[in-house]
Amino acid sequence: QKEVEQNSGPLSVPEGAIASLNCTYSDRGSQSFFWYRQYSGKSPELIMSIYSNGDKEDGRFTAQLNKASQYVSLLIRDSQPSDSATYLCAVYSGNTGKLIFGQGTTLQVKP
Amino acid sequence: GAVVSQHPSRVICKSGTSVKIECRSLDFQATTMFWYRQFPKQSLMLMATSNEGSKATYEQGVEKDKFLINHASLTLSTLTVTSAHPEDSSFYICSARPGQGGDNTQYFGPGTRLTVL
């Protein structure tokens, strides 16, 4: 089992729809979780961090964390073609001091 | 806030030469910096972790004598690719972590695209 798992996609949604990106992790002791967006040919860009169970909203983005289920998700409301990118879920490992990345989910928003 | 720069953004060099890439945290002090490599359509691969004033810790399979990392200050880390060969052509990305107050967020630089001819 991979430490951080994401469906590689592509996930295709129409413009204006809600895109739901999911991530599971194996280390039950993890406390810090991050979502990054990476456009093709560019470096990752931080979208959100989340540390507590529940929802955290920032504009059109909502991160959801459920530590009991070891599950993190990112919702993108009113999806735009400019949201088309690869979304990376990352979990901080207290044991190693590193971020463990999922392989990323490619999102395609079609006009 | 939390801006990380990299220089150069793109470099083309001949096989056998050395290339230095700089990574700077512009508006915060980074206790730890990380160097990644990414090949086309592949995932980020962590190469090494560096803490200011100490030797870098390299991931398994990464040649420390080929990829020299120096973290001279809390705002600057450098990666030198020595005797570069075409197979070293890749997208090199650094990230920096403030670390203060338990903040484990990593902020990425824009990356350096290396092409070795």
- Token digits of residue A9: 């996609």
Partnered with residue A58 across adjacent β-strands are A61
Which run of H or E residues covers position B47? strand B45-51
pLDDT at position A94, please?
86
- Chain A interface includes B104 (CB < 8 A): yes
pLDDT at position A9, please?
87
Give the residue from B39, B104, B115 with the most A CB atoms within 10 Å of its CB, the best one to mutate. Answer: B104
Of B43, B49, B104, the CB nearest to A104: B43
CA-based nearest distance B108→chain A, Å: 6
pLDDT at position A111, please?
94
How far, in Å, CA of B94 to CA of B30, rounded? 12
- Token digits of residue A76: 């993108």
- Chunked mean pLDDT (size 10), chain A, 111 residues: 88 97 94 96 96 96 97 98 97 90 96 94
**Amino acid identity for residue A57 in this structure:** E
Task: Confirm if B38 and B91 have CB atoms less than 8 A apart.
Answer: yes
pLDDT, tens digit (0-9, with 9 covering 90-100), for B21-80: 999 999 999 989 999 999 998 999 999 999 888 889 999 999 999 999 999 899 999 999
Task: Confirm if A38 and A84 have CB atoms less than 8 A apart.
Answer: no
Phi and psi torsions of B73, nearest 5°: -145, 175
Q: How many residues does chain B have?
A: 117
Mean pLDDT computed over B87-116: 92
